[in-house]
Each structure stands twice: as C-alpha cells, then as structure tokens.
Structure 1
C-alpha cells in the first residue's frame, strides 16, 4: 500500500541522484510513494523513493528507485544516466533518461533482454496510477 512522501525526503533522493526528478512524477510520488499502473504494454509497479523518516517507512521503501536502478545495471545494457521508476516483474522497466544533467519528462520503456528503449508516455501524468 503506497504512502505519502515529504518534500524533504524527495530532496534527499534528488541530491543523491544529482538532478531533480520531473515535476509530474514528483507530485504523484508525494501523494502515493509507489503504487501500480496499467498501460497498453504491461502492468507496472512503481518503485518508491527512499524514505528514511522512520523505520517503518524505511522498510517499506527498501526497493527504492536507486536500488532498483543499480540492480538493472547488472544486465549490462541499462541506459547511461537512466533511473528505473517502475517494473513489470519480468525485468522490463519504465525509466527516465537524464540528458544534459537533467531528467527528461518523457517516460521510456526499457526492454531488459535487448536494451531497447521506446517512449511510453510524454510525461508521468499520462500513466494513470491505480
């Protein structure tokens, strides 16, 4: 069950990432840090943003976007500068791509077997969380 996320915790994650996350994504995660969504391509589970505000929230956010991104890099074809924001449970991910030091608003589908990237939505707002 998703829970809210404070601006302070969001800023800590962005500091670790070295860039601000897209506005629509930030706002959605502040309301529900995690959650599920369905697109034409698949069903997705959004990874939470790490929340260290208390032990329960830390435990509930252990599969946060930075940890999941590090796991994806083990495939060897994960895009440089990308951050994994949701997975389908089979290895494919939805990602944001960092260009010129800034995460772009478009959400991409990354296919873990081939490394292929294709645009899934122009912004996170177009992917309705359940």
Structure 2
C-alpha cells in the first residue's frame, strides 16, 4: 500500500535522521511488506500513515516506534534504525553514513539480538527480494 512522502518526512524528523533515497522510493510504493534473504524472511516495518483509521491500524508497528523500542535493548547499535523483524528478535537495521551522520547509509545490516552483533546483508535496499 503506497504511503505519502509526508509520513516518511515525519518519521525522519522524529528520529532526526534521513532515509536513503532508494529505501524511500521503495517504501513510498509498498510501505512495508516482506523481504526474503538466504537465511530468513523479514517483515518490513511501515511508516506510520495517519491518513485514515484503516491505515493507522495497518501501520501501528511503524519504523519510528520499533526503532525507539529497539534502542532500549542492550547492544542495539547507537543511532541505528530498525526497518524489519524476523519474528525471533533479530532486526534488519540501517546505520548512519560515515560521510554524513544525519543520513542513513544504504547498506542493510542484520542485528542479532542474542549477541548484539551486526552483519552486513545487502547494499542497496533494492537487492533484497520481495
């Protein structure tokens, strides 16, 4: 289900960081969904869409909320943004760019909740299969 760019911008303001352009473009078209990796299936967190009750209900587990919750966990990388979960506690994350810490890098990482370790997964976002 598409999402209006204004909801992406609201999330960027709430988290004080910008999303990579390819991620924004893909999420504007789908706003959530699933991606499949070699070892797991992931549910993408949507951007919170407040345009009507149905969309509010469908997007209540949104990126900003899930990121703020994840930042409370021990070992979650500082300033990372959670974009997906596998249902077992692990998260797909984006981290700030080393060139501009106000923008998230395109590389997607897996954050393993049991160990607190991260592993590069894909670069850029469109390499993941839907």
Structure 1 length normalisation: TM-score?
0.92
Query: Which deviates further from its counterpart, 109-118 or 3-12?
Result: 3-12
2:61 is aligned, of 60, 63, 66, to 63
Report what 1:105 is aligned to. 106
Contact 2:109-2:122 at 8 Å conserved across structures? yes
Q: CA deviation at 1:74?
A: 3.3
2:13 is aligned, of 6, 12, 15, to 15
Report what 2:79 is aligned to. 81
After superposing on structure 2, the runs of 4+ consecutive aligned residues of structure 1 that deviate more than 6 Å are none
> Which runs of structure 2 are paired with 1:9-48 in the superposition (5 Å)?
9-48=7-46
Match of 2:12, SS state, is helix
Q: CA deviation at 1:50?
A: 0.7
Report what 2:121 is aligned to. 120
Deviation string for 1:14-46 (max 9, x for gaps)? 111212201111111111111011101211000
5+ unaligned residues in a row in structure 2: which ranges? none
Structure 2 length normalisation: TM-score?
0.92
CA RMSD of the aligned region, Å?
1.1
Query: Which deviates further from its counterpart, 69-78 or 57-66?
Result: 69-78
1:72 is aligned, of 70, 73, 81, to 70
Contact 2:71-2:78 at 8 Å conserved across structures? no
Pair 1:102–1:63, CA change in 2 (3 A): same
5+ unaligned residues in a row in structure 1: which ranges? none
Contact 1:49-1:64 at 8 Å conserved across structures? yes
